Amino acid sequence: MTNTPKLAIAIGYIDDDLVTSAIEYDQINTMNIRRRQICRRPAFMRNWSRLGVTVACLCFVLVLSGFAVLAMSLSDNLPAIDSSDIKYEENEHSNIGIYSTTDAFDVFGSFEPNGTLSGKSSTEDLYSFSLDKGESKTLSITASNGQFTAEQDIIELAITSQGNVLFQYICEDVTDKKELANFSSTENINRVLSNLNPEHKYEVTVINLGITDLTLNISINSHHYGCGEIILK
Amino acid sequence: MDDLEIIELYFARNEKAIEETDKKYGKLCFRVANNILINDEDSEECVNDTYLSVWNKIPPTRPKCFMAFICQIVRFLSMKKLDFNSALKRSQDITISYSDLEDVLPSDHFSTEWEYADVGKIISKFLRQEKEESRNVFIRKYYFFDSISDIAERYSFTESKVKNMLYHTRIKLRECLKKEGIEV
């Protein structure tokens, strides 16, 4: 065997028991592997079946929700969403936090149209007025009088649009000549002006773009008596 | 029928001995031959030659382990036949196996004063010191000439693990053979 490596020939002379043990080890090992596979099989099957059930449930839920959405979108008798449930609590300033109104705030309620908001009353006593179709009102807000605290005192404006009346809301910092908000809506809104600069003057203009009346509620929540005024133009 | 009974049949010159050998070890012999020759006809021929050789050797030889005895013969005859055939007919696996073994100990470095049986004993001694898994993988590769993928599947190892085990065993074997003075 001239072409066969001599070491390959020599390996043929290794002890018989080594050769036998290699074959027997194969058999034992193969048996063990098969036994292990058999032992593991139920666990695998269990896991796969669990996974299958989970996937099936998810698919069922997805299909069901898809059908529900489709049915709702096609249905003419959709339940109307009560727009009064939607509350907007937005700050007109970019660096403002939203303040809790759970504290016993003082509210200035004795408001006279075309006059100054002054006096002290309960939180329920908000001034309310309506805008005829096409009418606009501008509220000139000055949070001054030396006691207004920017971090504590806020001005709330609630606009109730009955019958989905379209209106435009514009809020601007007159002193800085900066527009803080400008949008149109047909739904009720609840605006909060907070972190106001006591030395600045603000104006809120509401224009009724709809064909029916629009109701506005205004309140100032302040920790201090006698600070702030709203002048209705 | 167990091995002792088969051997007794050989001693009794009963031709049923070959039939029983084929029944018990026919597949193993064919596999060993086919690992080397990669040719069904040649392998079949080698297996038949093996039976003839066993018939001629027993008696007087009484093998302690009949399975190893028959494997040794079929391996030797298959390698001889492969050597007789053109080297071009070698399979990739056997070429790699031969190349590996040439790397461990080139044939021209094999000291002439050593007999194959003596080197076989040294290799046996070396293999006994190895871990059982490494030893069996080595024997599977270089005794039975199984492919790496077959070994990996047989022992549930990855192919890279088998290659790694073989590599380290070859390096250790080279050191061992050097230490024993087999390399010239």
Structure-token match 């008798």, residue found: A77
Give the up-direction half-sphere exposure of residue A224: CA atoms within 13 A in the CB hemisphere. 17
Q: Are A224 and A106 in contact (CB under 8 A)?
A: yes
Interface of A with B in 23-62 (CB under 8 A): 23, 25-26, 29-30, 33
pLDDT digits (tens, 9 = 90+) for B66-121: 888 898 899 888 888 887 776 556 666 777 777 788 777 777 776 666 778 888 88
DSSP string over A176-195: TTEEEEEEEESS-EEEEEES
Average pLDDT of the residues in B157-181: 86
Task: Answer whether B63 sits within 8 Å of A16, measured CB to CB.
Answer: yes
Which one of A4, A21, A30 has the shortest CB-CB distance to B83? A4
Continuous H helices in chain A: 6-11, 16-74
Task: Look at residue A99 in the predicted model and tell me its pLDDT.
Answer: 33
Disruptive mutation site among A14, A15, A25, A32 for chain B (greatest number of B CBs within 10 Å) = A14
Q: Which residue of B has its CA nearest to A18?
A: B124
DSSP structural state of residue A186: S
Strand partners, A172: A179, A203
Q: How far does B143 lie from chain A, in Å, by closest CA? A: 6
Say if residue A123 is exposed, middle or buried (CB neighbours under 10 Å; 0-12, 13-18, 19+).
middle
Dist. CA A32–CA A24, nearest whole Å = 12
Give residue A33's identity as a one-letter amino acid code.
I
Task: Look at residue A28 in the predicted model and tell me its pLDDT.
Answer: 62
* Mean pLDDT, all residues of chain B: 84
Report chain A (233 residues): mean pLDDT per 10 consecutive residues: 75 84 71 63 67 90 90 67 49 38 34 41 53 80 60 68 80 84 83 73 83 71 53 58
Q: How many CB pairs under 8 A join A and B?
A: 112
Dist. CA A111–CA B135, nearest whole Å = 100
Task: Answer whether A18 sits within 8 Å of B63, measured CB to CB.
Answer: no
Average pLDDT of the residues in B116-143: 87
* ipTM (interface predicted TM): 0.79
Q: Are A194 and A98 in contact (CB under 8 A)?
A: yes
Task: Look at residue A88 in the predicted model and tell me its pLDDT.
Answer: 44
Task: Look at residue B94 in the predicted model and tell me its pLDDT.
Answer: 73
Q: Which pairing describes strands A189-194 and A90-91: parallel, antiparallel, or unpaired?
A: parallel
Q: Which residue of B has its CA nearest to A16?
A: B68
Q: How far does B80 lie from chain A, in Å, by closest CA? A: 6
Task: Answer whether B128 sits within 8 Å of A30, measured CB to CB.
Answer: no
Asked whether the predicted pLDDT for residue B172 surpasses 80, the reply is: yes
Dist. CA B33–CA B53, nearest whole Å = 15
Q: How far does B130 lie from chain A, in Å, by closest CA? A: 12
Per the omega criterion (within 30 degrees of 0), is the bond before B60 cis? yes
Q: How far does A25 lie from chain B, in Å, by closest CA? A: 8
Task: Look at residue A57 in the predicted model and tell me its pLDDT.
Answer: 92
**In chain B, what percentage of residues exceed pLDDT 70?**
91
Task: Answer whether A6 sits within 8 Å of B156, measured CB to CB.
Answer: no
Average pLDDT of the residues in B43-71: 87
The CA-to-CA distance between both ends of chain A, in Å, stands at: 117
